Amino acid sequence: MPKVTVESQSTYSAAETFKKIKHMLETDHDLQKLDAGYKCNFNEGGMTGTAKGSKFEANMKVVSAGTGAAVTIEVDLPFMLTPIKGVVQSTLQRKLESTLA
């Protein structure tokens, strides 16, 4: 399976960053268009999460980094979606940057 990894730095605390990313993943309409049936599960204590849809699986992790936080999202795509790997990566990167701005 091809993997897409998106990383971003945040000036917010790890807890606040996790809260913002969680909200974005649960409610963003553009992400829902990529796979309308995806479901998210979050571990607030560990600041991690998973998302699973009919077309992908993803893992998210937020860790403290200096005075802010670092976010990593890894998405596993099926081989048939390899041609849109760049679209998935750029969409997630744009959403992360917008959410954490």
Q: What is the pLDDT along the chain (101 residues), one digit of tens a residue?
A: 789 999 999 999 999 999 999 999 888 887 777 777 889 999 999 999 999 988 788 999 999 998 899 999 999 988 887 888 888 899 889 999 999 98
Please, which residues have CB within 8 angstroms of residue 48's CB and are 6 or more apart in sequence? 42, 59, 60, 61, 62
Q: Under CATH, to which class is 3-96 assigned?
A: alpha beta
| Domain ranges (residues) in the chain | 3-96
Where would I find the beta strands (DSSP E) of 1-101? 3-10, 39-43, 48-52, 57-65, 68-76
